Structure 1
Amino acid sequence: MVRKTKEDAELTRQRIIDAAKEVFLKRGVSRTTLEHIALQAEVTRGAVYWHFKNKTEIFNAMRDRVILPLIDRMDDTLAIANLADDVDALTQIENSMCVTINGLNENIEMRQIYEIMMIKCEYVDEFATVLQQILNNCSNITEKIQLAYERAQAQNILAPNHTPHALALDTHLFFSGLLHMWVKDADGSRFRHQAKELIQSHINLRRKQIKL
């Protein structure tokens, strides 16, 4: 009976998160209330408060569904670049970005949550802390990209124009901008269809040219 109760509670929690996602998409985050979410989930407000202290907690739970697994996959890809001497580090940086594009192409929930994060949310008031968390994640990813560029430098495949630190920051800013435009390109006519080619070009510009 206890196990069944826990399973039911988890199902209710996931239904609340699903409902929040749908309402955030329709109304935007700032115009969504816990009452809206409760109505969409077909539960009481008390049930919502049982699982979540406030709207920010629901937003974070929704975001973690796709962001944490994605960060893990990017970390795994970059770790290969940073640990394996025989792996082209620049190709692994390229692959780490393509992991996200593949996810957006294949996973509708991931697309929806990225749309909410990038278009439907104002990071003010109680959501200022969410923005700080996002910036911290970005800093961690940039540091790992820098390590991969340092590995590329040690492999003598990196163009000598800039430091790994500058290149990592540039790559992070490039990819953040690409993701924003990918999400906004709803019909896929401008950026979505060529996202991987743009990533490849970005990395190739950093690759040391071999003189014949």
Structure 2
Amino acid sequence: MARRTKEEALATRNKLLDAAEHLFQAQGVSRTSLQDIARRAGATRGAIYWHFRDKADLFNAMMERVTLPMEKSFGLEGNGGQESADNSGASGLGRIRSATVNALKQIVNDAQTRRVFEVATQKVEYVEELQAVRLRHLAVRNGFLQFFEESIDLAARRCGLKLAVPASVAAQGFHALIDGLIQNWLLDPQAFDLLEVGQGVMNVYLGGLGFTEGPPPGTPGETAPTPS
């Protein structure tokens, strides 16, 4: 009986999150009430408060269903970027390329991921009741920046490359490039091939930092500096 009750509770939670996804996409986060979500899910308002503290908590849980696997691929699951690099068997640019391509593939191929990213980028206002959403967004962004900075710095040191800008600045630029590309694609997915264009601009950007395409002998996942 206890197991059945736990399974029923999980089913109700998922129904609430599914309802929130579709309503947030259709009418925006601020215009969607908890009562709207409960009604669409066939649940009560009390059921929402059983599972979530407030709308921001529900929103973040909705995001985490699709972003946590993505964060894991970037080594952001809480153990630190450098440790993830050492344990993964890959490092530096290999990590960046692999994680970025995996993220783009998930966005292109998974309808739920696209829906949630559309909500997060186009349907949410950081009003007072959603400050926790803003804080979560900032924490994830900062995690990605740390991942990129550590990976770029590691690749440069392994290749003996002196970067023209600090690794932190290079990371900011790369994150802005990929994040902006995703947001523009979500506005019109027919405009361009996100995976193809994403990989192309990623290679151009990394090349601009001084890295070439092929890894040097004996250094898997890394690329040698461009000859001067």
* Paired residues of 1:16 and 1:48 also in contact (CA < 8 A): yes
Residue 69 (structure 2) aligns with: 69
Unaligned runs of 5+ in 2: 212-224
Q: Which amino acid aligns with 1:123?
A: Y
Q: Give how far 1:12 is off.
A: 0.6
Q: CA deviation at 1:42?
A: 1.2
CA contact (8 A) 1:81 1:148 kept: no
1:83-128 residue CA offsets vs partner (Å, 9 max, x unmatched): 28x9562233122221210110121111110000000111121112
- Pairwise CA distance, 1:137: 1.7
Distance 1:140 1:149 in 2: 14
**What TM-score do you get using the length of structure 2 for normalisation?**
0.82
1:36 has 2:36 as partner: yes
Aligned equivalent of 1:26: 26
Which residue in 1 is equivalent to 2:3?
A: 3
For residues 111-167 of structure 1, what are the alpha-carbon distances to aligned partners after superposition, in whole Å with 9 as ceiling and x for unaligned?
110000000111121112211221122112211211111111112264631221221
Runs of 4+ in 1 over 4 A off after TM superposition: 78-81
SS at match of 1:20: helix
- With the length of structure 1 as denominator, give the TM-score of the two structures: 0.88
Please say if residues 118 and 180 of structure 1, whose CA atoms lie closer than 8 Å, have aligned partners that are also in contact: yes
Matches within 5 A, 1:54-203: 54-75=54-75, 82-83=85-86, 89-156=92-159, 158=161, 160-187=163-190, 189-190=191-192, 192=194, 194-203=197-206
Structure-2 separation of matches of 1:33 and 1:22: 13
Q: For structure 1, which segment, 190-199 or 27-36, has the greater mean C-alpha deviation from structure 2 after superposition?
A: 190-199
Q: 2 CA distance for matches of 1:87 and 1:4? A: 42
Residues in 2 aligned to 1:205 and 1:191: alpha-carbon distance in whole angstroms:
22
8 Å CA contact 1:101–1:196 kept in 2: the answer is no
CA distance in 1, matches of 2:23, 2:66: 18
Distance 1:80 1:2, change over 3 A: closer
Q: Which moved more, 1:125-134 or 1:9-18?
A: 125-134
Are the counterparts in 2 of residues 94 and 203 from structure 1 also a CA contact under 8 Å?
Answer: no
Identity score, percent = 27
After superposition, give the CA deviation of every residue in 1:71-92 in whole Å (9 maximum; x if it has no partner). Answer: 011118x7698428x9562233
Matched residue SS, 1:186: coil
Counterpart CA distance in 2 for 1:11 and 1:190 is 37
**Over the residues paired in the alignment, what is the CA RMSD in angstroms?**
2.2
**Partner amino acid for 1:104?**
I
Whether 2:226 is the aligned partner of 1:209: answer: yes
Mark the CA change 1:101 to 1:79 in structure 2 (over 3 Å): closer, same or farther.
farther
Q: 1:18 is aligned with what amino acid?
A: D
Name the one with the larger helix percent: 1
2:201 corresponds to which letter in structure 1?
Answer: L
Q: Is the 8 A contact 2:181 2:198 kept in 1?
A: yes
Contact 1:23 1:32 in 2 (8 A): yes
